[in-house]
């Protein structure tokens, strides 16, 4: 940096320091913008994972209810058949 006529040396040093500070601030701002972009992307990925987990839990609950329903159907069928067998056994006892 060249000295201009009538400009004190200290003033040029101050201008240089201010310029350096501005460049550093701009670099920090760009770095923060990159970090914010990265965090937004991570947030999106986490939201996606949360939705996937919620869907998996919902499907598991549906499957559980389906199995419980099947279990109740089997129990009902068993009771119906057991009742029929018991009636048949009762008739055999009466006939014998």
Q: What's the first-to-final CA gap in the chain, in angstroms?
A: 124
Q: Are 12 and 1 in contact (CB under 8 A)?
A: yes
Q: What does the block give as tokens for 95? A: 């006939």
Residue 8 has pLDDT above 70, yes or no: no
CB-side neighbour CA atoms (13 Å) of 15: 9
- pLDDT band at residue 15 using 50, 70 and 90 as cut-offs: confident
- pLDDT tens-digit map of 27-85: 999 999 999 999 999 999 999 999 999 999 999 999 999 999 999 999 999 999 999 99
Integer Cα distance of 23 and 58 in angstroms: 52
Say which residues have a Cβ less than 8 Å from residue 16's Cβ, sequence separation at least 6.
1
Q: Average of pLDDT values for 1-29?
A: 76
DSSP H/E element including 33: helix 9-95
Residue 1 clears pLDDT 60, i.e. is over it: no
């Amino acid at each position: 940096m060249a000295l201009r006529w009538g400009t004190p040396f200290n003033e040029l040093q101050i201008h240089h320091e201010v310029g350096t500070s501005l460049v550093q601030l701009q670099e920090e701002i760009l770095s923060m913008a990159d970090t914010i972009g990265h965090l937004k992307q991570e947030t999106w990925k986490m939201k996606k994972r949360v939705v996937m987990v919620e869907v998996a839990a919902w499907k598991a609950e549906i499957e559980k209810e389906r199995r419980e329903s099947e279990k109740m159907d089997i129990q009902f069928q068993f009771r119906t058949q057991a009742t029929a067998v018991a009636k048949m056994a009762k008739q055999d006892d009466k006939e014998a």
